[in-house]
Amino acid sequence: MHDIYSCYKGDSIVMKAVGLIVEYNPFHNGHQYHVQAAKKAANADVVVCVMSGYFLQRGEPALLPRRDRTLMALQGGADLVVELPYIFSSQHAGWFAQGAISVLDKLGVDTVCFGSEHGEITPFIKLLDFLETKSQTYDTYIKAFSKQGYSFPKAASLAFAKLDPDKDCPDLSQPNNVLGYHYMRAINYLNCSITPETIKRTASHYHDKNLSGSSISSATSIRRSLIENSKTPDKIHNVVPASTFQVIQDFLNNGGHYYNWEQYFCFLQAKTLTLSSAFLSEIYEAEEGLHHRFQTLIKTHSSFQSFMTALKTKRYTWTRLQRLAVQVLTGTLKSEARLALETQQADHIRILGMNSSGQAYLNQIKKHIDIPVFSTLPKNKTPQQQLDEKAAMAYYTVLPPSIRKVKWDQEYKQPPIILN
279-296 pLDDT, tens digit per residue, is 999 999 998 889 999 999
| Distance from C-alpha of 213 to C-alpha of 256, rounded to nearest angstrom | 28
| Distance from C-alpha of 46 to C-alpha of 1, rounded to nearest angstrom | 21
**DSSP code for 163:** T
Residue 20: the pLDDT is: 98
**DSSP code for 278:** H
Residue 376: the pLDDT is: 84
| Distance from C-alpha of 222 to C-alpha of 288, rounded to nearest angstrom | 35
Q: What is the pTM of this model?
A: 0.91
CA trace torsion 78, 83, 86, 89 (10° rounding) = -20
Is 31 annotated for ligand binding? yes
- Sign, CA dihedral 293-299-303-304, equals positive
Taking phi over 0 as left and psi of -120 to 50 as alpha, with beta for the rest, 159 belongs to: alpha
Neighbouring C-alpha atoms within 13 Å toward the C-beta of 382: 21
Q: Cβ-count burial of 155 within 10 angstroms (0-12 exposed, 13-18 middle, 19+ buried)? A: buried
Residue 2: the pLDDT is: 37
Is 32 annotated for ligand binding? yes
- Please, what is the Cα angle at 286 between 324 and 53, to 5 degrees? 30
Is 210 annotated for ligand binding? no
| Distance from C-alpha of 89 to C-alpha of 394, rounded to nearest angstrom | 15
Is 92 annotated for ligand binding? no
Is 77 annotated for ligand binding? no
| Distance from C-alpha of 391 to C-alpha of 247, rounded to nearest angstrom | 23
Provide the residue ranges of all domains of the chain, joining segments of one domain with +: 3-119+200-259+341-419, 262-339
Is 83 annotated for ligand binding? no
Q: With a cut of 70, which residues of the chain have pLDDT below it? A: 1-13, 202-210, 212-213
* CB neighbour burial string for 173-202, b if at least 16 within 10 angstroms, e if fewer: ebbbbbbbbbbbbbbebeebebebbbbebe
Strand partners of residue 374: 350
CA proximity to 93, closest of 218, 178, 220, 171 = 178
Is 152 annotated for ligand binding? no
| Distance from C-alpha of 67 to C-alpha of 45, rounded to nearest angstrom | 24
Is 115 annotated for ligand binding? yes
Q: Report CA 42 to chain centroid distance, whole Å.
A: 22
CA proximity to 3, closest of 373, 287, 392 = 373
Is 145 annotated for ligand binding? no
**DSSP code for 168:** T
What is the separation, in whole angstroms, between the first and last Cα of the chain? Answer: 21
- Sign, CA dihedral 121-44-68-28, equals positive
Q: In this predicted model, what pLDDT tens digit does every residue of 44-99 receive, in sequence order?
A: 999 999 999 999 999 999 999 999 999 999 999 999 999 999 999 999 999 999 99
Q: Which residues contact 285 (CB under 8 A, 6 or more apart)?
A: 320, 323, 324, 327
Is 23 annotated for ligand binding? yes
Is 33 annotated for ligand binding? yes
Q: How many other β-carbons are positioned within 10 Å of the β-carbon of residue 408?
A: 16
| Distance from C-alpha of 55 to C-alpha of 284, rounded to nearest angstrom | 15
Residue 217: the pLDDT is: 83
Is 25 annotated for ligand binding? yes
